[in-house]
Copies of this chain bind each other. A is one copy, B any other.
Amino acid sequence: MSWTLYSAWRATAPYRLRIGLALKGVTYDYAPIDLIAGEQREPAYRAVNPQGLTPALDIGDGHVLTQSLAILEWLEETRPEPAILPKAPLDRAAVRAMALIVACDIHPLNNTRVGRELHKRGVDPEGIKAWSQRWIRDGFDTLEPMIARHGRGFAFGATPTLADCCLIPQVYSAGRFEVDLDPYPAIRAVAERAAEHPAFQAAHPNKQPDAKPL
């Protein structure tokens, strides 16, 4: 039974999962959800994921997994090789902390539904951009020394981890919000390394079936 990934090409949460799936060598059917058209709020998608957010991963037998980090942990538990978490508990805690800085402290403040709420409250597009930049910089300010300390090519060590699955999509998003990455040489080095890695290449927004010309 093949799996189906419900994804949107530029959204960062499904992008994280695409990286993890590619690292694990898993193939899947790609079901695009058009976030601009609001497909995530339509009954057809709510029947898949009642929360109306991407990603969702249908693995058959009525099992639909949601929440990118929960799915990545499940992938690691069920397909341990290649590992995306180190072995030692303290190292695992460091990798998960980096992933959660992106997933809890940066991304939730910048997604489409939050932009819509700010717009409703009279915040103009420049204000929304400044809002997003603020949270990205805050998070990157914290991540930069962590990566400088733990990274040896990737964010933690020499091979990709859960931290990179979260970081690389957030770097992509930082580009859309025109965040200056000059103050973050360690983050930039990881992004350059990831750009040469086949799993990160395959997961890139521009390579997805629903990619639109920019």
Contacts and interface: CB of A to CB of B under 8 A. Distances in A.
Interface of A: 50-51, 53, 63, 65-67, 69-71, 73-74, 77-78, 89-90, 92-94, 96-97, 99-101, 103-105, 107-109, 114, 117-118, 121-123, 127, 131, 134, 138, 142, 145
Contact of A67 (B50, B63, B104, B109): B104
A135 to B, nearest CB: 9
Contacts of A90: 63, 65, 74
Contact of A92 (B73, B97, B105): B73
A90 B73 CA distance: 10
Contact of A93 (B74, B89, B99, B105): B74
Q: How many copies does the complex hold?
A: 2
A201 to B, nearest CB: 26
Nearest to A108: B108
Which among A53, A71, A93, A94 has the highest number of chain B CB atoms within 10 Å? A93
